Amino acid sequence: MKFSVLATVFLSTFAAASYITPLSKRDPLPYEDIQLIVDGANEMIQKYDQDMVKIITDAKLDPKETLAQGSTSGQVNIGICKARGEVGYYLTNLVGLKKLNIKNVEYVSNDFNADAGLLTLVIKAGINPIDLSVDVLGHAIGHCGFLHPHVDISGNVDVNGMKIDILTSIVLDINNGVTVTAAEIAAVAVDFTRIDIDLDGFGIIFNPLLDIVTDSIRGRIKAKLISLVDDEIKPVLQKVVNSKLPFKLF
């Protein structure tokens, strides 16, 4: 399968916990048993970080040629009148996602059904903050009667410190050994340290629109990156995990 390497990242991590034999079925489950599983996952994930590069590039997410487009407008002065100025822009050539690597795995909570022999673990995988870059291409045009001055604009966006936290719910059957029967990526949270935007080409006429366009691009970038993680990266991860279940640990 195209993304089969991802199963190693998500599922083989838990094989490191195979030295827990047998897993206790006491209710509540001893914290030591839970922590050994989480520690094993943490250690193994660090060994497979290099596979994230293949996962991202195979999915054509880095570089990503087309990210988003947008437009905004405002008032400009073209001499004989104050005119409506319109700016359209394209956000292209997203670079940097293949630097994603998992910083650590933390235990969040568990739900243990001793009678059924089922353990549900919720863990949080933290992604090291990464920096991204995006190119900006666009145009501005003014409307004043028969006058339609226009310019081409260009620039770049530097996204500093994009952080991702992934919550995953894992169900383990401990009746006969330990088997992962389900794994669901429950939630993805995305945050940013800073977004810097540098634009050129506005000239004297369209310079009053610079701040408006900058704010529009900043909002568009944030929204698109959040949806990219949720709509494109998360489903790829989930699909590969599902293809490898059930997965016997020991």
Cα distances (Å, whole numbers) of residue 151 to 62, 91, 141, 206: 30, 17, 7, 8
Alpha-helical runs (H) found in the chain = 5-10, 31-47, 51-58, 203-206, 210-228, 234-243
List, in order, residues 6 or more apart from 41 with CB less than 8 Å away: 13, 14, 16, 17, 105, 123
Instruction: Provide the whole-model pTM.
Output: 0.80
- Mean pLDDT for 106-124 is 86
Reading the block at residue 83, the tokens are: 């005119």
**Do 213 and 89 contact (CB within 8 A), yes or no?**
yes
The predicted-structure confidence for 8-55, as pLDDT tens digits, reads as follows 444 444 444 444 445 566 666 677 777 777 776 666 666 666 667 777
What pLDDT score was predicted for residue 228? 94
The predicted-structure confidence for 185-224, as pLDDT tens digits, reads as follows 888 999 999 999 999 999 989 999 999 999 999 999 999 9
Q: Is the pLDDT of residue 4 over 50?
A: no
pLDDT over 70 percentage in the chain = 82
